[in-house]
Structure formats: C-alpha cells, structure tokens
A and B are shown apart, each in its own frame.
Chain A
Amino acid sequence: MDLQGLRRESECRWVIEPTGAMRVPAILYADEPLIRGMDDKVRAQVCNVAALPGIVGAAYAMPDAHWGYGFPIGGVAAFDADRGGVVSAGGVGFDISCGVRSLLTGRRREEIVAVQQPLAHELSRAIPAGVGSTGHLRLSSSEMDEMLRGGARWAVARGFGDVSDLDRVEECGCIADAQPASVSPRARERQREEMGTLGSGNHYLEVQWIAEVHDDAIAEGYGLREGEVVVSIHCGSRGLGHQIGTDYLRDMALQAPSFGIRLPDRELACAPIHSELGQRYLGAMRAAMNCALANRQILTQLCRESFRRILPDAGLRVLYDVSHNICKVEEHVVEGESRSLHVHRKGATRAFGPGHPCVPESLREFGQPVLIGGSMGTASYVLAGAAGGETLALSSACHGAGRSMSRHEATRRWQGRQLVHELAGRGVLIRSPSMRGVAEEAPGAYKPVESVVDAAERAGLARKVARLEPLICIKG
C-alpha cells in the first residue's frame, strides 16, 4: 500500500482523514511492514466504507486486512439505524457467521502423539469435508425452521453435545430475532444435506498443542496449559449462508437506486437498516448465524465421538465459539454517549475486554477469548479482548493470517502430495480429499500469523494468551 495520505498516529495505528465522500476517517491497525504489504484495494475499500450513510466513528481495517468485495476482509464498521445507517450483505460476506470453536481436551501432547495416526484416520472418516460431501442429518422444512431459530441450542436438544457447552458459545448458542421466513427456498435446499459438514477452502478441524503460553493468568483462566492439546473447528453456515449472501447481495444491488444512496461502487450494495429489505436481510442473516452455531455444535459432537473411539474416556470441553463474519447489534460508547449500533465485522473477530457483560461469567474477568486461525500447518493463537479495545476499534481484532498470494500462484509453486509429506515429516498429519486444495492452502501462501497477532497486541486490540501448533489437520 502506498503510505501517502496515511498519518501514523502510533506504531500500529494509521489514519486517513475524510476526503471527498468519506463521512468519517478510515483507521488501519498494522505495523509498517504489514501496511506496506497490504493491497492498495484495501485502502480504497475502507475509504468507500467510510462514505456509507450512518457510519459511526470510523471505518476500520485489522492487521490481516486484504482485498474483499465491497468491504475489505478484516473490515469493521458500525452504523446507527436511527441516523440513516445501513446494513450491507457484502459487509458480512457469503460465509455468514464463519467462525472458530476451540475445545479443551485436557490431554498432554505425548498422549495424542501416541495415537496420532489412528486419531487422524478416525477424524477424517467422521468429519464430512470437501466439495460434494454430505452430512448425516436431513432436515424437514419444519425442522429447518427450528434449527434456524434455535442454533446450537437446537443441536444440543437433538443430542449433539451438552447443555453446558452453550455457556461458552457466543449468544449462548442462539441469536435472537432470526427470521426463517426471510430465508429463500434455494438457501434451504442448499443446506438440506450440509448440516454437520466442514466445507472446503480455508475451513478445517485441527488438533493442536499449546506450544507457548504468553499470559499465565489468562491462560489458566481459559484452561490452557502449555503442552496440552486443544481442537479448533473453523467453518460457517455452509450452503445456507452462501445462498443468503447471494440472494441479498443481488437484491441490495437492484434496490440501491430506490433508496437514494449514492454508492462509489455497486459492490457496496446495502439497504437502510430501517427498510423492509434491511430488516429481511438481518432476519435471514441471524438465521444463518444460528445455522453456523448449530453446524459447529454438530461437528463438536462428531469430534468427541471420534476421540472416544480412540481414547474412551476423552472429554472435550468448549473453550469458546466466536464468529468473524457477522453484523450484530451492540452497545458502544461513542464520544461519551452509549449508542446501539449495527457492527459489521467481516474477517474480524469480536474482542470484548475484561468485565464485559456479554462474556461468559466464568471468563469475564479475563476478557473474551479471540480465536485466531493460522494457515494449514502453521501456528494458531488464542488472544483475549483488551480493556481499551472498545475505543480503538469497537472491540474488534484480527481473524487469521490472510493470504499473501492467489490460489493459482500457490498451485504453481507447491504440489499437494509433497506438502502433505513435508508436514508429516514435521509431525503434522494432513487429511484432505483434495491434493489441489492442499496446494492452494499451502502455508507459504499466507502471511505469517505471528506478525498479524503481534500487531493486534501492539495496537492494543487484544492480548496474546497462547500459541497453538498443529498435530492433525482435517481439510475440506
């Protein structure tokens, strides 16, 4: 990114003052190497977001920001419904409520390494992954409605997991005000055979060991002990969410002129929150969030069953489950005034600080766990929401490493089989139905996640708690 026009306020905070149609500043969080490495399109997109009606405070970009569609990936923006604010399907993305759930096994690394091969085999057999894979559940129309209203609570009631899991899931496993009636027949059909599936691309289920603890007190509070093993599941609302994104992106693009909103690019298609279309989208998007929460709950149970087939007394407790593609209504203090805002986070993780009432009571004194996925075969991180994060970026942090090269370039540089072989030599077992998919997800195709989380911490968005290294990775 060209740094001209960016004012560096601190080591990891860069400001673009409003010009032209921008209503608020754009604020980017990154160190100098990261910001120089960002695509100029990130700058254009975050400035475009700053021009949308009803935006409050600033348009933000996280340290892992990259070129998205409409909003940058790694973008955060809040809108005030009562001051003309908008909701944008592109500001949430196609993979609605994509997120990460982490599970604590309480097992030492050595115990898992001793059963690494059979456990990898069992997980790859039990977790439906990849293009064309199907889940074991087929939902009737009324069951689909119940799932879309009930989220992870619905899944628990169907026998997937335990009620005690729900306390550690965002929104206690079920977001209110979902409107199944706003979900199209096409979206329902896409989901019919996809409950309890992982998907493809950068989605994964990974068995990881805690290689380093950065903050002893918070790690202890989270139940993270060096040398122990956790499982992380990264996936979203599957075909249902993809189709809702498709449906409403088109509808918002078609109806944009009728709202009288001047858009610098039609990819910013949005609707006033108080419009009929805006409300319909929010209802459908919340239904997709419940779908994602139910999906991760089902996968949790499939994972537990796999573990128990290898280690009969294994118990996997939920550390936390948080989405990074979502629009949520939150209370934030802006210029001394508490306001109810629609906060879009696209490729950005909510990061409430210590004491926030939305953080589960058992974790509240430490701040919300922020679960950061690395690339295949590299480290992931657990961060904690920081006290000052609200004023910095509406309590938001990064979500992952972010790609540094295209999929095409990755397949030119790496062979899937060779990567699997090399990673096995380093003690990481990759299981995937697609070697081309493995090549596209090569670790070298992503930025180093360490630089992203370091920048997030130095910027004050979140604190590093623990670094996780992979042992087994189930890829789509």
Chain B
Amino acid sequence: MPTPPFEGATSDWQHFAHGADIGVRGRGATLAEAFAAAAVGLTAVVTDPLQVRPLESLHVECVVADRELLFQEWLNSLVFLMATRRMLFSRFEVRIAGDSLEADAWGEPVDVVRHAPAVEVKGATLTELAVRQEPDGRWLAQCVVDV
C-alpha cells in the first residue's frame, strides 16, 4: 500500500450555499490540488472526512476536452464509485495532463454507525461550475452537487 499523498484534513475546501443543494469548492497551488481539495469537500457533503480512513485505493481516469467539464466528470466519477462500491474517500492524488485526469482515491467502505452519512450525492451539476486561476496564482474548482 503506497503512502497516501494528500491529507484530506488539511486540504483547502469549502461548501457554499445553494438552496436545496450544496456547492463544493476546492483551492490549491495547482489545478490538480484544487481538484483534490474539492473531492474532500464532496465527501464532506456526506460525512466528516476526518472519520474516513484511507484504507484502500481506487484508480480513476477521465478524459474531457473542456477543463470545467473535466472537473464535473472527476466529481461524478467519485459519486459513481461511492454509489457502486459503497465507499467514502478522504485522500486523493490527482494528476492532470491536458484533457486527461488520472487519480487515486483512498477511502473505506461506508460504516453507517461511524460515518453517520447524512445524504447521498446524486451528481455534480453545471451550476456555479468554474475552474480558474485566482489573482493570487492559486487554482479554484467548484460546482453545485445535487443531493
């Protein structure tokens, strides 16, 4: 088992309000870090990421010729794995090259008692979807997820 390279607890993520649903935002020194931070924010919609142990990893690959839609596809790939593997993830290593994203996501199976999952995420939407470099040089990736 390789050492998980990204510490979810210290990542720069936040939620923003959106009526019935939730906005997920990640920031990082690189585009890949921002995507990874947003993924921690995605987990935080369901449970406290600090309660999710990085016991096993799954590999994710996405290719979309549009940076914003690549971000949406990344979150939707995690939503798919959460739903079908019945897992939660807390640490992410993301690599982005052009239109392609490769990532490893570390997590564990859902434990209803310990994780007390609040809600399942149905999908990442195009609403408030943005991927950009901020004036301070850091990257931001965000969108609203439907719950």
Contact = CB atoms under 8 A, between A and B. Distances in A.
Interface in A71-113: 73, 90, 93-95
B42 to A, nearest CB: 13
Given A246-B79, A254-B66, A408-B22, A436 B118 contact: yes
Select the residue from B18, B72, B76, B126 with max chain A CB neighbours within 10 A: B126
B19 A67 contact: yes
B122 interface: yes
Interface residues of B, number: 38
A243 interface: yes
A94 B112 contact: no
A249 B112 CA distance: 31
Given A131-B117, A440-B118, A250 B69 contact: yes
Interface stretch (B26-34, B80-88, B94-102, B134-142): B80-88
Given A132-B110, A190-B84, A249 B123 contact: yes
B123 A200 contact: no
B56 to A, nearest CB: 16
A201 B120 contact: yes
B117 A69 contact: no
A383 B118 CA distance: 31
Contact of A266 (B73, B124, B126): B126
Contacts of B18: 67, 406
Contacts of A411: 118
Select the residue from B17, B20, B72 with max chain A CB neighbours within 10 A: B20
Contacts of B126: 69-70, 90, 249, 253, 265-267, 269
Contacts of A243: 80, 123
A70 B117 CA distance: 28
A199 interface: yes
Interface in B27-46: 46
A190 B66 CA distance: 26
A437 B122 contact: no
B1 interface: no
B117 A130 contact: yes
A239 B72 CA distance: 17
A245 B118 contact: no
A68 interface: yes
B76 A132 contact: no
A192 B117 CA distance: 21
B83 A239 contact: yes
B117 A132 contact: yes
Given A39-B19, A254-B66, A408-B17, A245 B144 contact: no
Interface string A362-393: 00000000000000000000000000000000
Interface string A48-74: 000000000000000000111110010
A246 B19 contact: no
Nearest to B117: A131
Interface extent on A, as a size class?
Answer: 35 or more
Contacts of B123: 94, 242-243, 245-246, 249
Interface string B106-127: 0001101000111110111111
B113 to A, nearest CB: 8
A403 interface: yes
Contact of B125 (A41, A267, A402): A267
B146 interface: yes
A437 B17 CA distance: 17
B15 interface: yes
A249 B122 CA distance: 13
A67 B22 CA distance: 11
Contacts of A95: 122, 146
B103 interface: no
Contact of A437 (B19, B20, B118, B127): B118
B57 to A, nearest CB: 19
A435 B73 CA distance: 30
Contacts of B109: 132
Contact of A267 (B15, B20, B117, B129): B129
Interface string A431-448: 001111101100000000
B60 interface: no
B147 interface: yes
A407 interface: yes
A186 interface: yes
A189 interface: yes
B17 A131 contact: no
Given A93-B146, A246-B79, A254-B69, A69 B120 contact: no
Nearest to B126: A267
A11 interface: no
Contacts of B21: 69
A409 interface: yes
A242 B125 CA distance: 11
Interface of A: 39, 41, 66-70, 73, 90, 93-95, 130-132, 134, 186, 189-190, 192, 199-202, 239, 242-243, 245-246, 249-250, 253-254, 265-267, 269, 402-403, 406-409, 411, 433-437, 439-440, 476
30 contacts: A39-B19, A66-B19, A67-B18, A69-B125, A73-B19, A94-B122, A131-B118, A131-B119, A132-B110, A186-B80, A199-B120, A200-B117, A200-B119, A243-B80, A243-B123, A246-B122, A249-B123, A250-B69, A254-B66, A254-B69, A265-B126, A266-B129, A267-B127, A406-B17, A408-B17, A433-B116, A434-B118, A436-B47, A437-B118, A476-B119
Given A131-B117, A406-B18, A433-B117, 9 more contacts: A94-B123, A131-B119, A189-B80, A200-B117, A201-B120, A201-B147, A246-B122, A249-B123, A440-B118
